[in-house]
A and B are shown apart, each in its own frame.
Chain A
Amino acid sequence: MCEHMSVAENIFMGRMPTNKFGMVNKNLLIKKSDEILKLFKEPSRPKPNKIIGELSISQKQIVEIARAISLNCKIIILDEPTSSLTESETEILFEIIENLKNNNISVIYISHRLSEIFKLCEKITIMKDGEVIDTLEAEDTNEKEVVNKMVGRDIKNFFPEKANIEDNGRNVILRVENLSRDGYFKDVNFALYDGEILGFSGLTGSGRSEVARAICGIDRKNSGNIFINNNKVAINSYSKSMKYGLVYLTENRKEDGLFLGLDIKRNLTVSGLEKISNKRLLLWVNSRKEIASSKKMVKDLDIRLSSINQKINSLSGGNQQKVIVARWLFVDPKIIILDEPTKGIDVKTKAEIYSLIRQLADNGIGTIIISSELPEIIGLCDRIIVMHEGEIAGILKDKEQSEAKIVALASGIKEK
């Protein structure tokens, strides 16, 4: 879409109604856009003369769908439409899709999120490695069957076993006190014990990632103290945070994580350049060490590739994510924060990453998971911190965890 142009101009891009001099007929353009936009419900639908750049992501999606409708389409294909939407925006999208169905427009909906598929779809086609595995009626199947077909085998232990957090004598490796950042979150207090996986849940925009980024010194904070192994630390930049062994794995793999133009080797070693270079000789890179370390990382995480000299964008999303995880494990972190670690990843790699994360926790690395996927966070985490509008709404221990409880806390419903 053209960010600097209006909604109407985007809907009729390249097909603007013109007058007899070949100039754009603005009135007709607005009128025709209005007709299409009427299909969408009130609060969310944008005005035709609004500029695209000022819209929310879900409103932009409405414009895109409106453009498709303006072409008199009969089929709309939506590819992972909810990946950047909040919970409430997703609801709006679902309403729109229902609306389209009622207007005799067919929808092909591509998604990783099984719950969405079962909510929306009548028919499910499962693909794997570029082949159609099966097409099922949604009524006759269930999530488990679909997952099994996606993976090609039975996944019995999709999530690894949890640690027993009640054990006495566990050390606190990270403590955060009264952390605040104006406009994002306030008075965040929590502790991370060694051997546990701590989950952060909450709606998009509730401040989960912002808290993590502030702890790591990527964003600034207004107040609050951070203790690592009971020592107060002053972290004001991300490189400082790395020196304390505190690392953050970004949620936007493509935009903030990968160096798409560089090879796998360089993507693996970027954060640990000191480890593969000679300190005395102007940090001269030792290529033998570089290759050996890269190969070891590839082997340890079972990254599927044909050569470490390949460019990173020749890998699948799951393997790219493994590269980023390997990059951070290479610097021997004490605490690792993973923001949406399985976003856009196939089911099989997901399971691998889950067991890897558990392994890290078992090895005494403090592990924090930020995730929007409720089954994931419940299946994986020992304790879950739920955030609501920048504050911690509750901390759930293993036995208290349920999707209903998390959703209630995340949407700000107070329990009695």
Chain B
Amino acid sequence: MAENKGRSSLGQIGKGFRSFLKFREAMLIFIVIGFMLIISIMSPNFLTADNIRSLLVGLALDGITVIGMAYAIITAGLDLSIGSVLALSGVVTGKLFVMGVNIWLAALIGIFVAVLCGALSGFLIGKVGLNSFITTLGVSGIARGICFVITEGTPIPLINKLPESFKFIGGGKLKGIPVIVIIAFAILIIGDLLLRRSASMRKIYYTGSNEKAAMLSGINVVKVKIGVYVISALLAGIAGVLADARFGVATPIIGGETAMVLISAAVIGGCSFSGGEGSVFGAIIGIFLLSLVTNALILLNISIYWQQLVTGLILVLAITLDHLRNKRLEQSMLRLRKI
């Protein structure tokens, strides 16, 4: 009897483990851990506090903004404007500060301007019904354009005038952990939990999975879409301010490749372009994996010019594997239907 019980609970653990393996994220975690093992064997500098710290600081901004990209992709959309909105928020904040505005107020205004960009995208995509790719490409151009107009193309140096408290969020440490990493981590956890558990955020999945059915289930699809692009821009705005704090300079060209990196990360992390699938957690691991690649190349003294090539390879590999897996799932689904 007791033996039996033991076996069944063991069986349950086995079952739990198997269903865990089915998670897209689980597969990624294994890849990341394996990758980290390999790097740490090849380079003794990998598992040092300094390296890990710089790795995490490096992905903090991408980590915050990837949440918005994941949300947008899950609604079957896309936000190409994240990088430019990030730059705009930073530039507006910097410019206002140089003009004599209190830095915290300036930051708030910078974030507000970013949110306006998101509201514009959201309105055009959700209410007017434009395609998200083209719309955010346009808004991206507008935001980047305003950056250049404000700065006349040259970065605004802030570092000497910034108050210590503001520099602290960009460069300070709490018990050895960089503050910017703590902020990013907090935002990521909130972003992931909300999408996982909040009823309002669940509407993002419904909207992406089948917009018409979502509408006919009583979901205000327009509101969902506007919300998604506003959140995405809000996060980009926060990242823009954090970039000012971290680099001590407001640069109009920052975030030029952000959108592409974020899309790759989100897709590697399991967000499906046809919508309704994906998670913030997956997207973060995607970003982490891409950062690891860059980090490994630096540590192994390989030219940084290889980075894009490797990133591209990983992306192609990820979507190919995904496609094959989906095909197999579909077949097993047909078998299930016999019940």
* A residues with CB within 8 A of B: 129-130, 218, 237-239, 242, 248, 250, 255-262, 266, 270-271, 273-274, 276-277, 282-285, 287, 304-306, 310-311, 313-316, 327
Contact = CB atoms under 8 A, between A and B. Distances in A.
A129 B197 CA distance: 39
Given A218-B216, A257-B213, 14 more contacts: A130-B338, A238-B216, A239-B219, A242-B218, A256-B212, A259-B206, A259-B213, A266-B205, A270-B219, A283-B200, A285-B198, A314-B334, A314-B337, A316-B337
Nearest to B207: A259
Interface residues of B, number: 31
Interface string B203-215: 1011001101111
A239 B220 contact: yes
A354 to B, nearest CB: 23
A310 B218 contact: no
Given A259-B209, A259-B276, A304-B339, A271 B218 contact: yes
A282 B195 CA distance: 12
B216 A250 contact: yes
B25 interface: no
17 contacts: A239-B218, A239-B219, A248-B216, A259-B205, A259-B214, A260-B210, A261-B210, A261-B274, A262-B276, A271-B218, A274-B199, A277-B198, A283-B200, A285-B202, A287-B197, A304-B339, A314-B333
B8 interface: no
B303 interface: no
B79 interface: no
Contacts of A273: 199, 202-203
A284 B198 contact: yes
Contacts of B214: 259, 270
Interface in B81-96: none
Contacts of A276: 199
Given A238-B218, A239-B218, A261 B209 contact: yes
Chain A to chain B: the 7 pairs with minimum beta-carbon distance, closest first = A283-B199, A273-B199, A277-B199, A259-B209, A261-B276, A314-B336, A314-B333
A36 to B, nearest CB: 35
B4 interface: no
Contacts of A266: 202, 205-206
A153 to B, nearest CB: 19
A306 B336 contact: yes
A273 to B, nearest CB: 4
Interface in B109-145: none
Contact of B217 (A285, A304, A311, A327): A327
B277 interface: yes
Interface in B262-283: 272, 274-277
A341 B284 CA distance: 43
Contacts of B336: 306, 310, 314
Contact of A283 (B198, B209, B213, B333): B198
Contacts of B206: 259, 262, 266, 270
B333 A313 contact: yes
A257 B199 contact: no
A341 to B, nearest CB: 15
Nearest to B208: A261
Contacts of A283: 198-200
Contacts of B216: 218, 238, 248, 250, 256-257
Interface string B323-337: 000000000011011
A251 B250 CA distance: 55
Contacts of A256: 210, 212-213, 216
A258 B218 contact: no
B199 A284 contact: yes
Nearest to B209: A259
A284 B197 contact: yes
Nearest to B220: A239
Contacts of B210: 255-256, 258-261
Contacts of B213: 250, 255-259
A257 B272 CA distance: 20
A262 B337 CA distance: 16
A306 B272 CA distance: 26
Contacts of A239: 218-220
A305 B194 CA distance: 29
Nearest to A262: B209
A332 to B, nearest CB: 13
Nearest to B333: A314
Contacts of A306: 336, 339
Contacts of B220: 237, 239
B333 to A, nearest CB: 4
Contacts of B217: 270-271, 327
Contacts of B215: 218, 238
A98 to B, nearest CB: 35
A305 B212 CA distance: 25
Contacts of B272: 261
A285 B197 CA distance: 5
Nearest to A283: B199
Contacts of B203: 273
B126 to A, nearest CB: 15
Contacts of A218: 215-216
Nearest to A261: B276
A261 B338 contact: no
Contacts of A316: 337
A82 B277 CA distance: 34
A260 B333 contact: no
A255 B216 CA distance: 11
B205 A262 contact: yes
Q: Which of B203, B276, B336 has the most CB of A within 10 A?
A: B336
Nearest to B219: A270
Q: Which of B205, B217, B272 has the most CB of A within 10 A?
A: B217
A261 B214 CA distance: 13
A306 B339 CA distance: 8
A237 B222 CA distance: 12
A152 to B, nearest CB: 16
A350 to B, nearest CB: 18
Contacts of A237: 220
Nearest to B212: A256
B271 to A, nearest CB: 12
Given A273-B199, A282-B198, A283-B198, A261 B218 contact: no
